[in-house]
Structure 1
Amino acid sequence: MKPIFTLWALAAWLCAGPALAQTAPDAADGKTLFAKNCAACHQADGRGIPGAFPALAGSALAIGAPAEATEVLLKGRGGMPDFSGSLDDADIAAVLSYVRASWGNRAAPVADAEVGALRTALQLPPASRNRFGNKH
């Protein structure tokens, strides 16, 4: 009986998910930050504006490896500005996590530590503004 209980306890622990110290960014913050910094181009529904601003709903970039989308937010791309100076790691993680879980997208949240590690690897300084930074 004891081996079965141990097996069940181990299975429950493995399925429990990340520890509380690794909690996902606050979805409300991500939605607010997206509305303030991204929705003018990518639209509140994530569909973008065809021919001008790409859709994030169903986007391979949005739901793919977090590092690529994180780099786009940190460095910009094409006509998109960078947010490395105006959004801190937690803000960028919150926006990315919101996008990855909205409009039918189903991808794991992004942790602020992941953003910070990439910011360091790209040799970008910390953000000078944070929490609901100005819209670019």
Structure 2
Amino acid sequence: MSLASSSAVSPPTPHERVASSLARQGMMNHLGVQLVSATVGRVELSLPYGDKVTQQQGGFHGGAIGALADIAGGYAALTVAPEGMEVVTIEYKINFLNSLQGGQIHAIGQVTKAGKRVIVCSAEVVHIASDGQQTPCAVMQQTLTAVPQTY
């Protein structure tokens, strides 16, 4: 075995890459966002219900729902971005469908198309009640671009 081949470091898996970046997200950590899964082009995140994420009527706040959708789509984009790059959102459009209480919300972000300059993603957010019942909360489409990683 040559010295070069024994010292080669394999690139991180999509799950490792997303988990490492998510750990640096102050807002997501503050809200309690958890990584459920990450594969090439697809990321699922969860956010438990709590007083940090509610609006005045007690349901999940639209800002929390939108942030979770944005980050799920963004991390789906990260899984297809070149190594050494991060991604930032250029824009997104979200439709809110429901705001429910209790349980948790899950966002599933998926890459629709990865181009040379922009990555288009979508995300679906669902509420999962304590009895397992799932209700759609939001759908989002976003455009992102890769930027050099600065850390």
**TM-score with structure 1 length normalisation?**
0.28
Structure number with higher relative contact order (C-alpha < 8 Å, ≥ 6 residues apart): 1
Higher helix share: 1
Q: Which has the higher strand share?
A: 2
Higher-Rg structure is 1
TM-score computed with the length of structure 2 as normaliser? 0.26
